[in-house]
């Protein structure tokens, strides 16, 4: 899904090379301008009226209430949207993190454009990782993404990555401060979003406490079976036995010792193991391709499934 319309993948990163091997590697501490250029985000999204030809008029007429969004660098059209659609420019996404980096504790990890530039994102590491159990570390991140085709609101989301397996979990799901969404019918106020995310630290602390509780709660096989059935029930018809589904069998298989990190002392047979069985399936196996898997795990049904799993296990 990476945008390659200008001849190279629109993505920059620091540290380990991404699984797809694409993008421009930057050194830690690179400036926002370099990030913006190397991530393929050095363009603006322009607006123009939508015109149509009418057999009864000599000149094209404007279609009232609609406008077309297009890129300044290559002129490519992005979408036709309503007049009330407020654009969050790629530069605004990048400068959102600039002030956070200046304040300390935030370091950009990846940024780029997807789907011909119809979506852009940036991901920053928030702080040092924390151990849930000895040898089982989770790292906190902050994601900001927006779209130019009406498919998603501008979203700032706190997420965490379990180092041993690269599973992602949105922390403190449903709680204020974990996710902030700004509809395109509203104007993006970076200061307000940063203010709303100002409780990220406390949310992170709450998530760590929550995760450690899950790691300390044994889970019997019949409890795991009931959890997975309840989790997957909405995705199956009454006529179909959930336990016969591929997702059910795979989550149970991962819970029963096949998941990455299962060998860490204290993980096996706990609610923490059950949560990571779900996140590993969603992040690394679910979906027709790596592209659709990432889309789903960050923004779609995969993210919702992980959210529901954490909610059920923490109840």
Question: What digits encode the pLDDT tens for the residues 134-163?
Answer: 888 888 888 889 999 988 899 888 788 776
Out of 186, 210, 234, a domain closes at: 210
From 34, 54, 82, give the residue that closes a domain: 82
In a domain, 3, yes or no: no
What is the pLDDT confidence band of residue 76, given thresholds at 50, 70 and 90? very high
Say whether both 241 and 108 belong to one domain.
no
Contact status, residue 119 vs residue 146, Cβ threshold 8 Å: yes
Within-domain flag for 17 = yes
Instruction: Give a yes or no: residue 274 inside a domain.
Output: yes
**Per-residue pLDDT, 285:** 84
Going by their DSSP bridges, the two strands 154-162 and 136-147 should be labelled as antiparallel
Instruction: Note whether 251 and 313 are within 8 A (CB).
Output: no
Claim to verify: residue 111 and residue 196 sit in the same structural domain: yes
Q: Is 65 a member of any domain?
A: yes
Do 162 and 52 lie in one domain? The reply is no
Same structural domain for residues 32 and 132?
A: yes
Let me know whether 299 and 283 are in one domain.
Answer: yes
Kindly state whether residue 4 falls inside one of the protein's structural domains.
no
pLDDT in tens, 157-209: 878 877 677 666 654 333 444 678 899 999 988 877 876 765 444 566 677 77
Q: Are residues 71 and 35 in the same domain?
A: no
**pLDDT recorded at residue 104:** 62
pLDDT tens track for 20-48: 899 999 998 899 999 999 999 999 999 99
Residues 187 and 250 in one domain: no
Q: Strand, helix or coil at 145?
A: strand
Contact residues for 112 (Cβ-Cβ < 8 A; gap 6+): 2, 3, 9, 10, 11, 12, 23, 39, 40, 41, 120, 121
Percentage of the chain modeled with pLDDT above 70: 86
Q: Classify 114 in phi/psi space as left (phi over 0), alpha (psi -120 to 50) or beta.
A: beta
**Domain membership of residue 218 as a residue range:** 213-314
- Asked, for residue 91, whether it belongs to a domain, the answer is yes
């Amino acid at each position: 899904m990476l945008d390659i319309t200008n001849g190279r993948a629109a993505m920059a990163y620091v540290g380990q090379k991404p699984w797809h091997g694409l993008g421009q590697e930057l050194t830690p501490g690179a400036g926002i301008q370099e990030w913006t250029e190397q991530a393929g985000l050095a363009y603006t999204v322009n607006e123009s009226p939508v015109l149509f030809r009418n057999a009864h008029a000599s000149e094209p007429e404007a279609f009232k209430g609609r406008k077309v969004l297009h890129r300044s660098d290559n002129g490519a059209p992005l979408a036709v949207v309503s007049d009330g659609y407020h654009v969050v420019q790629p530069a605004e996404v990048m400068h959102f993190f600039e002030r956070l980096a200046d304040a300390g504790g935030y370091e950009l990890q990846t940024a780029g454009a997807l789907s011909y530039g119809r979506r852009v994102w940036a991901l920053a590491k928030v702080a040092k990782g924390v151990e849930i159990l000895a040898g089982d570390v989770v790292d906190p991140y902050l994601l900001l993404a927006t779209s130019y085709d009406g498919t998603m609101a501008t979203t700032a989301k706190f997420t965490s990555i379990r180092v041993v397996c690269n599973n992602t979990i949105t922390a403190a799901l449903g709680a204020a401060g974990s996710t902030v969404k700004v509809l395109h019918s509203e104007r993006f106020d970076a200061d307000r979003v940063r203010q709303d995310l100002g409780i990220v630290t406390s949310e992170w602390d709450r998530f760590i406490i929550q995760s450690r509780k899950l790691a300390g709660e044994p889970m019997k096989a019949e409890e795991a079976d009931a959890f997975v059935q309840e989790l997957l029930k909405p995705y199956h018809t009454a006529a179909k036995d959930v336990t016969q589904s591929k997702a059910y069998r795979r989550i149970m298989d991962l819970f029963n010792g096949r998941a990455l990190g299962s060998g860490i002392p204290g993980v096996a047979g706990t609610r923490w193991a059950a949560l990571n069985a779900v996140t590993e399936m969603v992040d690394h196996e679910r979906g027709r391709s790596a592209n659709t898997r990432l889309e789903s795990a960050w923004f779609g049904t995969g993210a919702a499934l992980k959210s529901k799993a954490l909610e059920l296990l923490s109840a």
